[in-house]
Structure formats: structure tokens, C-alpha cells
Amino acid sequence: MRNGGPFLSANNCLWYTGRMPEQYTRRPNTVCSICRKPIYRRPVEIEKNSGRVYCSMLCFGKSCRREVACLNCGKPILGGLNKKTCDRACANIHRTGIRYTAERSKDKVSSQRALKLRLLKQRGNACERCGYSKFEILQVHHKDRNRENNDVSNLELICPNCHFEEHYLEKSWLRRRSEK
């Protein structure tokens, strides 16, 4: 057997198995920022991290968590995800006394639906331009092209084809091409 160099000397022939005790252990020069366990870190690392050093990945993970207090009982919970209370019981206690408004907020979809239903009642179930009779697909068109002006005299109930002609026919690239 040939000489293995410094790795297979007589007193540390088991270095690769992990069963041999370390020959040199460093004395702790700082403590973990979370659990306060004494550890050794290179001075450059301590300086680079502004003194925040950790003994393990578990302590590092704890330092990354953001905890906030429960609004009701004050118990720490993980911040984020819009959580404000620690459990359902605290949420119920926190919600007592809150008055909710009975009216629904004004959203565009319900108001457009109401406009269409009003026009269908007043003007019939057909397109006002071509007479197409499938009322399910009819669309509300604003004559002055101002969507805020929902006066009944400004509205027209037309089919998608007529609506497309109204808005896009004058801008069509095919029309410009045929005029040349």
C-alpha cells in the first residue's frame, strides 16, 4: 500500500468515515440571533451581516418570518395573507358590532344588465336597425359614445353586427385599402 499523503497518516486514518473526532474546535465568538446559542462565525461574515448570525437554517427561517399580533387576543400569528385574527372564534368576536350596508355596490355589470332589461321592455326584442330577433345577444349602444350618459334617448338596442359596423367600419383597414 502506498503512502496516502497527509490524509492517511497514522493518527487520522479514519478521517473520511466521520468517526474520528475533530482535532481542532473553534471557540464561539458570537451568539445566534434567535436562540442565543454560542457559535463561531468568521469575523467577515459577522461584519457582512451586521451582526445577524444564525446557528442553523431553522433559526434563519424564524428570523425571516413576520409575525403580527391577533387583533382580538394579541397572540402572535404569521403576517401576510390578510390574516388579522388567529382563529375563527377571535374573528367572530372581532366582527361583533360591525354594521354592513344592505345595499349592493354599484358595479358596471349589473347596471348594464338593468339598462338592457329596461330597453327590452320599452322597445321590443329585436335590433332597432336591422330587426334581428335573438334578444339574448343584443347590445346596448350609446349614440353619443359616452358610456356615462345612460339617458334612455341616448341608448339604442342593436345586434353585434350593427354594433361592430357602427364602431369599427369607418376605421377598417380593408376600407382604406379599397379606396386606393
Residue pLDDT, tens place only, 11-32: 555 555 666 666 777 888 999 9
51-70 confidence digits (pLDDT tens) = 899 999 999 988 888 888 88
- Provide φ and ψ at 174, rounded to 5°: -70, -40
141-153 confidence digits (pLDDT tens) = 988 988 888 888 8
Paired residues of 142 in beta bridges = 155
66-88 confidence digits (pLDDT tens) = 888 888 888 988 877 778 888 88
C-beta of residue 119 within 8 angstroms of C-beta of residue 140: yes
Above 70 in pLDDT, residue 108?
Answer: no
Taking Cα atoms as reference points, which of 179, 108, 178, 121 lies closest to residue 150?
A: 108
| Residue 172 pLDDT | 73
Q: Which CATH number fits domain 109-171: 3.40.1800, 3.30.200, 3.40.1000, 2.40.128?
A: 3.40.1800
Give the span between the Cα atoms of 141 and 124, in whole angstroms.
15
**So where are the chain's domains?**
8-64, 66-95, 109-171
Contacts of 6 (CB under 8 A, 6+ apart): none
| Residue 12 pLDDT | 52
